[in-house]
Chain A
């Protein structure tokens, strides 16, 4: 079993739709969680951190469920520009070493 697992998708949604991605992790000692966005053949870019109480940044909402060991990302009012691969990242205490999920691909269509 992988340490971090994501549904690879692809998710194909119309503009304006709400879409949610989940990510499960196996290490219960994991401390920090992030969502990154990666556009085709580009470097991953930090989208948002995930806090225990949940957090929101505009149309994006991230949540953490430690008991069930999963994090989620909700995108409201999807835009064409949201089309990308979304990477779930789980970090241990070891020198900031992170484990990346394989990513979920989102395509937003007109």
Chain B
């Protein structure tokens, strides 16, 4: 019952360092998503991938890049981490049809000093 798996679960970076957050799903879903959630706030969409081979910007894409490596995997990269990117990052997946909900991984807690 893995569902959506995110690695790592916790990470501390220094300003300017780079890092890739990994996400994999085993539900054969078409679409995948990256969100960030800051304390006391809602989820904000960073990037999404409607299907393998496509990616699109969400609400807050600046400072991030993504790769849809294959149908299972969708990675999020911070090229030069900034303290403002300290957040909890959630990956999600869905079939991509309008009546199908998203399923979330358990998050990556990222602190940038």
Question: Are the C-beta atoms of B48 and A100 separated by less than 8 Å?
Answer: no
Q: Does B66 contact A (CB under 8 A)?
A: no
The residue that B31 contacts in the complex, of A93, A96, A102, A103, with Cβ under 8 A, is A96
B101 engages A102 (CB within 8 Å):
no
Kindly list chain B residues whose C-beta atoms are within 8 Å of the C-beta of A87: 42-43
Complex interface residues of chain B between 57 and 75 (CB less than 8 A to chain A): 58
Q: Annotate B78-113 by CB proximity to A: 1 below 8 A, 0 otherwise.
A: 000000000010100011111111111111010000
Max count, chain A CB within 10 A of own CB: residue among B31, B58, B97, B101: B101
Q: Is B42 within 8 A of A43, CB to CB?
A: no
SS of A interface (majority):
loop
A-side residues, CB < 8 A to B, are 31-32, 34, 36, 41-46, 49, 87, 89, 91-98, 100-103
Closest chain A residue to B106 by CB distance? A43
Q: How many residues of B contact A (CB 8 A)?
A: 29
Known contacts A102-B41, A102-B42; is A96 also within 8 Å of B103 by CB?
no
Interface residues of B (CB under 8 A from A): 31, 33, 35, 41-43, 45, 48, 50-51, 56, 58, 88, 90, 94-107, 109
Q: Are A96 and B96 in contact (CB under 8 A)?
A: yes
Q: Is the CB of A92 within 8 A of B98?
A: yes
Are A44 and B104 in touch, CB under 8 angstroms? yes
Q: Which residue of B lies closest to A30 (CB)?
A: B98
Q: Which residues does chain B contribute within 8 Å of A96, judged by CB atoms?
A: 31, 50, 94-98, 100, 102
CB <8 Å contact, B41 and A89: no
Residues of B within 8 A of A94 (CB): 50
| Distance to closest chain A CB from B43 (angstroms) | 4
A27 to B96, CA, bound (A): 19
Asked whether B101 lies within 8 Å of A34 as measured between CB atoms, the reply is yes
Q: A46-B103, A102-B41 given as contacts; is B48 within 8 A of A97 (CB)?
A: yes
